[in-house]
Every structure is written in structure tokens, then in C-alpha cells.
Amino acid sequence: MDIYRERAHFVAFLSKMFPASKWADEREPNYPVIGIETIAGQLSWHVNPADMDLFAHVTEQGSWDGHTTEEKYERLAKIGDDLAALTGVFLPKLHEIFKQYDAAGA
């Protein structure tokens, strides 16, 4: 698996966690764009056409909100920071629930 396919898997994961859309970029017409609408703002990546099988679930047509690459990664970092703050409270409890579930033989 090459690094671009790996990145496509990451974008596909995000596209299942947040509302997603796709569109064509006039500057790069051979590479579709996948847009992810997050609470921090839109994130988008060009995707190799060979990787579009990972995005069969993305059916909405969207459009770019004008964000820069720097803004995209600032938004992604904000989501990471917000999730890290939440998981500090949530994950230990979730871990305990899974341990109880496993102990019950479920």
C-alpha cells in the first residue's frame, strides 16, 4: 500500500465520522476532492481516482469553502485537541465498560 492510499484510508475514516461530499477541482480535474464538514470547519483532500472505491458512501455533491491548506490543518488540530479533552473524561469510563462486558463473557 502506498502512502497516498494510506492517506485515502484516513480521509475515508473521517468521511464516515462527519458529513462528507465530493466535487471536481477545475485546477486538478483528474483528482476528485472529498470534503469533510466538521465542527471546526471544512477539511478537504484531493483523492487519486484509484482510491475512490473507499468513498462509495459519499454521494453528496459539495463545494470548497475557500480554506487554505494551513487552515485545514489548523482545523484538524482543533478537532484533535477537542477530542483529547473529551477522551480524558470519556475513554477511561468506556474502557471500564468494555472490561465489564468482556468479564461477562459477552
- Cell triple for 97: 465498560
Domain boundaries, the chain: 3-103
27-80 per-position pLDDT tens digit: 999 999 999 999 999 999 999 999 999 999 999 999 999 999 999 999 999 998
Pick 86 or 22 by higher pLDDT. 22
Cβ atoms 49, 4 nearer than 8 A: no
Cβ atoms 22, 61 nearer than 8 A: yes
- For 27-47, give one letter per residue: b (16+ CB within 10 A) or e: eeeeebbbbbbbebbbbbbeb
Residue 91 reports pLDDT greater than 90 = no
User: Is pTM, for the whole model, over 0.85?
Assistant: no
